[in-house]
């Protein structure tokens, strides 16, 4: 089943690592904006929940257990990413930003593991 404490650590670690890599890839000062965290159910490499109708990750074990119950046999992943802009003003007011300069993903549940 889910070791929720370890999962939360893994998510934080992947987000931090991806944030640093995004800054390294951008290579200039600016503004990184999180795209949020989302939950996906995946079966045989196909996303069966969370793609067309995004499911925000609430950060709760209850939400993940519900996903496992709703999508038996599926792998459950928590994913997110970052956008880049030269400034908050460019991002929020002008809509001038580079989407997905970094993304991360953590397997929350895989049947049999």
Asked whether the predicted pLDDT for residue 52 surpasses 90, the reply is no
CA pair distance 64, 3, nearest whole angstrom? 11
Confidence label for 113 from pLDDT (cuts 50, 70 and 90):
low
3-state SS, the chain, equals: CCCHHHHHHHHHHHHHHHHHHHHHHHCCCCEEEEEEEEEEEEECCEEEECCCCCCECCCCHHHHHHHHHHCCCCEEEEEEEEEEECCHHHHHCCCCCEEEEEEEEEEEECCCC
Mean predicted confidence (pLDDT) in 37-50: 92
Q: Of all residues in the chain, what percent carry a pLDDT higher than 90?
A: 81
* pLDDT for residue 112 is more than 70: no
Q: Does the pLDDT value for residue 68 go beyond 70?
A: yes
**Contact assessment for residue 78 and residue 11, using Cβ atoms and an 8 Å cutoff:** yes
Domain ranges for the chain, please list them. Answer: 4-109
């Amino acid at each position: 089943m889910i070791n929720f404490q370890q999962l939360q650590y893994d998510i934080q670690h992947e987000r931090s690592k991806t944030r640093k890599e995004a800054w390294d890839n951008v290579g200039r000062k600016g503004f990184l904006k999180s795209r949020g965290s989302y939950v996906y159910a995946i079966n045989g490499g196909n996303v069966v929940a969370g793609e067309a109708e995004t499911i925000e990750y609430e950060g709760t074990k209850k939400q993940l257990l519900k996903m496992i119950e709703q999508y038996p046999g599926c792998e459950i992943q928590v994913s997110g990413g970052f956008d880049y802009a030269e400034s908050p003003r460019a991002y929020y007011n002008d809509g001038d930003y580079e989407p997905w300069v970094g993304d991360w993903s953590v397997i929350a549940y895989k049947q049999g593991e």
